[in-house]
Structures are given as C-alpha cells and as structure tokens.
C-alpha cells in the first residue's frame, strides 16, 4: 500500500511539474528585475502620523527595517515599500496606555498570497527542492525574487528613475543611508526540514541565534531548501535584523513562508527527456506566436 501511495504521489508531482515548466517557459516578467524584492533600510519617522495613535513616538524609529519592494515595470511611479517585522501599537490598547507589539503582517508572501513554492534545484542544488523564480502566473511570483540588498543600492539613479522613486517612497521614510552599519540576519526559528544556504554552501545557519553577516553594502541571495522527499506542507523561517556597530536598533521578527506540494516534483530520470521535449515545444510555440 505504501508503495502504491508513493507511486501515485510521484506521478501527481511529475504531472504538475510538467505543467509548471510549460508556464515558466512562456512567462514574461512584469516585475522590475533591476530592483531587488527585499531591501534593508532604517526607519526615520519619529512620530506616528495617522490613526488613533497620532503624535505618539514611532516604536520603529532608528530601527533596521525589512522592506518588500513593490516595483512596477510599466508604472514605476507606483513603486513603494511594505515594511515587515515592524513594531506597532496594539489597536486594542488605549491611547493613554498603548501596548507595543510586532505587527501581525510580518510575513512574506504577504496578505492572502500562498507561500512560495519550493521547486527542483539544479547544479549545486540538484536533487533538492529550492527557492526558484516562480512563473509570473503564480500569485507569489514577485516574492520569489529572494535577493536582499541595502537601501543605498538604490542611490545614484536619475530623478524619476524607478530606483529613485522606490528610494524616496513613503515621503522618504526609509531613504536614510545605512553606511557604517554592520547588519546581521539573525535566525529566530526554522521549521524542521527547512534549510538556509546560498550559491556556495548548504548550511549558513544551523540553530536559533545563528547569524549571517551582511555588513552595510550587500546583495545577498539566500537559498531556502528541503530534501526532495520533504513532506507536503508549509515551512517557515523567522529572522530579525541586528546592527553589530550599535548605530541602529534591531528590527522586529519577520518571516518567510514556503510550501512543498504536488508542484514541487523532482521527476523520475525517465521523465526528464519527456519534460525537456515539452519545454522545447512550448518555446517553439512561443517563438511562432511572436513571429506572427
């Protein structure tokens, strides 16, 4: 019975993976590849500007902040950040006795978007399920660009450029430099079976409190991965940002959410040739459509 279940599971995974491969072959990016999805900045808002707690001290002032950069190729004027791992006043508390907590929207993919799918790796990560760029049709597509960069990487571009618009969004709240900081990405928790590596190593952290050194100028692309036999389900990695130089305060805790499901298939060796053929046909069809 176990053998039958495993066979059915593998077949389901392989079939859905083939479909995903076809979608990926024809996807055209609508996300601005020149702007990393994740930016580290520092909050320079001193007081709360709107809402019931207007005028109170901003609990994130001078704290490092993990930012998701919403960037738009066709309408860069809409570029803006969403902050993650930030502190807020609990809406249920009173203005006279406000309670500070970490925002409940501290995760990516944000909102109701599903976790980022882990899909078959290649090269160094061959045989693993990893964070790859997802097809544009995926609701979590923009969140699958895993690179984290410092806010100063957006400087030096012309007025009105996508980078300049992003840098100065939210009235310049996170536009301040972090030069001189010694930023670390500190692990807070990690689901069993989930691992954190990069292009050169499988295990950058192994336990709670372990840190990844970033410095003050960085473009870091983590690879989150599981074994190919990982159980279906959601996997979570929680971090916070710290500054070893003491210039800026720590961020709150933020989390990445990933999932392993039927689309995470690693095909059987005999299936690779068939999938390669399907991908070739998809690319040929795309080229014919463009030529018309």
Residue-wise DSSP of 196-249: EEBTTBS-S--STT-EEEEESS-EE--EEEEETTPPSEEEEEEEEEEETTSSSB
DSSP SS3 for 181: coil
Residue 204 lies in a domain: yes
pLDDT of residue 23 exceeding 50, the answer is no
DSSP conformation class of 154: G
Give residue 273's pLDDT: 45
Give residue 156's pLDDT: 95
82-138 tens-digit pLDDT: 999 999 999 999 999 999 999 999 999 999 999 999 999 999 999 999 999 999 899
Give residue 28's pLDDT: 37
Give residue 275's pLDDT band: very low, low, confident or very high (50, 70, 90): very low
Only one residue has tokens 């002032």, namely 61
Residue 43 lies in a domain: yes
**Percent of the chain predicted with pLDDT > 90:** 76
**CA 128 vs CA 113, 125, 132, 164: distances in Å:** 24, 6, 11, 38
Over residues 152-173, mean pLDDT = 96
Contact between residue 56 and residue 98 where contact means Cβ atoms under 8 Å apart: yes
Predicted TM-score (pTM) of the model is 0.81
Residue 73 lies in a domain: yes
pLDDT of residue 243 exceeding 50, the answer is yes
More confident: 119 or 263: 119
Give residue 269's pLDDT: 52
More confident: 215 or 4: 215
For residue 285, how many other CB atoms are within 10 A of its CB? 13
Residue 39 lies in a domain: yes
Residue 5 lies in a domain: no
Give residue 201's pLDDT: 94
More confident: 284 or 162: 162
Q: How many domains does the chain have?
A: 1
Residue 284 lies in a domain: no
Mean model confidence pLDDT for the chain = 85
Give residue 151's pLDDT: 98
Rounded CA-CA distance 287/154 in Å is 35
Give residue 11's pLDDT band: very low, low, confident or very high (50, 70, 90): very low
Token pair belonging to 128: 């693993």
Range of the domain at 233: 31-260
Task: State the DSSP H helix or E strand holding residue 77, giving kind and residue range, or none if neither.
Answer: none
DSSP-derived pairing of the beta strands 195-197 and 116-117: unpaired
Residue 290 lies in a domain: no
Instruction: Give the least confident one: 23-37, 38-52, 260-274.
Output: 23-37
C-alpha torsion 177→76→39→171, nearest 10:
50
Token pair belonging to 206: 């192994």
Rounded CA-CA distance 151/174 in Å is 8
Q: Which residues contact 249 (CB under 8 A, 6 or more apart)?
A: 62, 63, 64, 243
Residue 70 lies in a domain: yes
Give residue 284's pLDDT band: very low, low, confident or very high (50, 70, 90): very low
In degrees, rounded to 5, the angle at the alpha carbon of residue 161 between the alpha carbons of residues 156 and 162 is 105
């Amino acid at each position: 019975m176990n053998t039958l279940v495993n066979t059915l599971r593998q077949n389901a995974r392989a079939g859905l993976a083939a479909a995903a491969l076809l979608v990926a072959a024809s996807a055209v990016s609508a996300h601005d590849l020149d702007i990393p999805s994740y930016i580290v900045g520092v909050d320079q808002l001193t007081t709360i500007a709107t809402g019931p707690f207007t005028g109170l001290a901003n609990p994130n002032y001078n704290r490092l902040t993990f930012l998701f950069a919403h960037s738009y190729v066709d309408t860069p004027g809409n570029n803006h950040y969403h902050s993650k791992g930030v502190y807020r006043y609990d809406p249920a508390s009173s203005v006279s006795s406000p309670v500070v907590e970490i925002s409940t929207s501290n995760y990516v993919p944000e909102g109701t978007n599903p976790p980022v799918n882990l899909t078959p790796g290649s090269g160094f990560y061959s045989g693993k399920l990893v964070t790859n760029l997802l097809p544009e049709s995926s609701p979590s597509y923009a969140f699958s660009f895993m690179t984290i960069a410092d806010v100063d990487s957006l400087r030096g571009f012309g007025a009105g450029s996508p980078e300049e618009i992003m840098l100065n969004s939210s009235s310049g709240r996170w536009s301040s430099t972090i030069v001189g900081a010694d930023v670390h990405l500190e692990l807070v928790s990690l689901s069993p079976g989930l691992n954190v590596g990069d292009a050169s190593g499988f295990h950058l952290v192994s336990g709670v409190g372990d840190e990844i050194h970033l410095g003050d100028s960085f473009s870091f692309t983590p690879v989150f991965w599981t074994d190919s036999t990982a159980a279906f389900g959601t996997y979570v990695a929680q971090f916070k940002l710290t500054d070893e130089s003491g210039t800026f305060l720590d961020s709150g805790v933020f989390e990445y959410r990933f999932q392993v499901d039927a689309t995470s298939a690693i095909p059987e060796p005999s299936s690779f040739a068939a999938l390669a053929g399907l991908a070739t046909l998809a690319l040929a069809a795309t080229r014919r459509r463009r030529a018309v």
